[in-house]
Structure 1
Amino acid sequence: MKRLALLFISALLFAGSAAAAVTPPQQLVQSTSNQVLERLKAESEAIKAKPNMLYGMVDEIVLPHFDFERIAKWVLGKYRRKASKQQQADFTKEFRMLLVRTYATALNEYTDQAIDYLPLREGEASGDVVVRTEIQQPGAFPIPINYNLYLKGDAWKVYDVSIDGVSLVANYRTTFSREIRQKGLDALIKRLTKKNDEVR
């Protein structure tokens, strides 16, 4: 669970405000992490007094850089084909809020780990890249975290994140598939909605 939290923390540090021109993915990752950390430092006292501020921060800064339609489609996998348009929309909405809650919780536990950015491999010209980073752990091996991005229009969008080789999409797909098989998609959406309503 701690490693999953680190995944969400680093994903949060990745995000930044959209630029007028297309910002190269590697540059986007590096430049915006400092922006987010500076904001956290500047608002640390206010966040301590009102932790729910983190939900708004995540929703405003992080999530616009994720393609939730694509992520939700892959997470549902084969069950999406049988889902109605309304079920698909409801699931995407609640899954998005689930990540808001998870990111905010992880951010509240952030302890200023250093982030190393590894050289970008070929792929940018094709419109699909993997940006590789490592989260330094005192007295332990660094944790590799990779971001899969593709060029959507004039902006790079995240469609998956992996930590130690474990995909965010694959992780949720496995968990949700089991629940859908046992209880159905509507039951999953209802459970997510109930949890999300606690912080809306």
Structure 2
Amino acid sequence: MKRILFFLCFFLCSAGVAAIETPTQFIQNTVDSVISVLTDERYAAPEAQDEKYTQLAQIVDDFFDAQELSRRALGQYWRLFTPDQQNEFQTLFLDLIKQVYLKKSITYSGEKVLYNQEMLKSDLLAEVATTLIADATNTSIIYYMIRPTPSTPWKVYDVSVENVSLIKNYRSQFQSILQNNPPEKLLAILREKTNE
């Protein structure tokens, strides 16, 4: 159940839609997409788990602004990476997140999401506060969102679950490595982890 909870916390948003959605609409519409995959009988059989993982992984790819996520996770060290290293880091970082949170045994058990408040910080920045209700547990989740222009779709660059930031958690790990090592060292570690 804990694994399911964390999956829903991090990945209950994303998917392409024709019209430009508000931040809350972005989440509401794509919650349905995630639940649709999790409840699809085609993915119930053990031999269909790889395909279910592929579908959920695509949602994760669409969910995040990969560059913004990566830039904030690396903090001051981002500028030490070459453009090629930055691109590789973005790919490896998303692969790591998918590997950690997208377990093939994920199922849907009727969890509900309450959409509490949408906060537009500017035309380009927003926050959506939600509550995930699972059994008797209420979990506070805030999605931090960004878009490059007012005419482009929203993406997520951080998720805070009970005041624990995804970005800050990884930033501390990455910075502990980069304090005394070049970017290639972190990339090598991520390559190894994502190939496990």
Give me the TM-score of the superposition, normalised by structure 1. 0.83
- Tell me which residue corresponds to 2:55: 57
- Tell me which residue corresponds to 1:67: 65
Matched-pair identity in %: 27
- Tell me which residue corresponds to 2:124: 127
Distance 2:110 2:157 in 1: 24
Gaps of 5+ in 1: none
Higher helix share: 1
- Tell me which residue corresponds to 2:144: 148
Distance 2:160 2:5 in 1: 11
Residues 114 and 123 of structure 1, relative CA distance in 2, 3 Å threshold? same
Distance 1:111 1:36 in 2: 9
- Tell me which residue corresponds to 2:8: 9
Give me the TM-score of the superposition, normalised by structure 2. 0.84
Distance 1:175 1:98 in 2: 13
1:1-200 alignment, distance < 5 Å = 2=2, 6-16=5-15, 18-42=16-40, 43-46=42-45, 48-105=46-103, 108-112=105-109, 114-123=111-120, 126-140=123-137, 142-153=138-149, 154-198=152-196
Distance 1:113 1:178 in 2: 39
- Residue identity in the other structure for 1:138: D
Gaps of 5+ in 2: none
Deviations 1:135-160 (A, max 9, x none): 224344x1111111123342011011
Deviations 1:43-94 (A, max 9, x none): 3324x32433344113322322311111111111111122222222221121
Residues 180 and 110 of structure 1, relative CA distance in 2, 3 Å threshold? farther
- Residue identity in the other structure for 2:21: T
- 8 Å Cα contact 1:94-1:196 kept in structure 2: yes
Q: CA RMSD in A?
A: 2.4
Distance 1:146 1:110 in 2: 22
Residues 151 and 92 of structure 1, relative CA distance in 2, 3 Å threshold? closer
Deviations 1:19-65 (A, max 9, x none): 2210112122122212321222113324x324333441133223223
- Where 2:18 maps in the other structure, the secondary structure is coil
Distance 1:63 1:151 in 2: 15
- 8 Å Cα contact 2:117-2:130 kept in structure 1: no
How far off is 1:95 after superposition?
0.6
